[in-house]
A and B are shown apart, each in its own frame.
Chain A
């Protein structure tokens, strides 16, 4: 069974700061997902990556398959980035996704 762990659990930062959220997993995978859950509850898929780095606007996701580690970075953070960020990877035998517990990010103006 794949164990997916995220850090930190909670993060409060000032507007404009560079944010890093980490995700590690125990079993080798072919792809890792980063999701964003808004305060209202809706979930948006931010990235699905299997190697290297992907960038979308101010968001950057990286993955190191050998080290079983991924990071999500937010540059020039803004209060609208306040949300829960969740990483997920293949769970192992079930083929479904296993999720980290999420990082609750608050960006203060």
Chain B
């Protein structure tokens, strides 16, 4: 158990809908990272938040947004969903802000299926 929690575990929805994925980092970790894993693209970095502020942005679509709250949990909002958004969404956390040179702890993931 990494100490990172994600809800829900599974989500089935329809095209055009909006969903919210939630992540709680390990106690003491200030950074939260969101990743998307699809069959064709593999793992991709979406966005990082550090202590409530956006820190780094990767291949995140404009239809997607995220935020980190004062209690450090984070939410990833996906809107106007398309079939191609079906994927596993992971969040990870780390202590500091330079995740590329820190150990990241991954949550169990949310499996999203868009029908």
A57 to B105, CA, bound (A): 19
Report how many A-B pairs have Cβ atoms within 8 Å.
Answer: 71
Check B108–A96 contact: CB distance below 8 A.
no
At the interface, is chain B mostly helix, strand, loop or mixed?
A: strand
A64 to B58, CA, bound (A): 26
User: A99 in the interface, Cβ–Cβ < 8 Å?
Assistant: yes
A35 to B106, CA, bound (A): 10
B100 neighbours in A (Cβ, 8 Å): 29-31, 89-91, 95-97
Check B45–A48 contact: CB distance below 8 A.
no
**How far apart are A83's CB and chain B's nearest CB, in angstroms?**
13
Within 8 A of B (CB), among A78-102: 86, 88-91, 94-102
Interface size class on chain B is 20 to 34
A45 to B99, CA, bound (A): 12
A108 neighbours in B (Cβ, 8 Å): none
3 A-B pairs with the lowest CB-CB distances in the bound complex, closest first: A96-B45, A90-B100, A31-B101
23 CB-based A-B contacts, threshold 8 Å: A30-B100, A31-B101, A41-B108, A41-B111, A42-B106, A43-B90, A43-B106, A43-B109, A44-B2, A48-B101, A88-B43, A91-B58, A91-B100, A95-B98, A96-B33, A96-B56, A97-B45, A97-B99, A97-B104, A99-B42, A101-B42, A102-B42, A102-B43
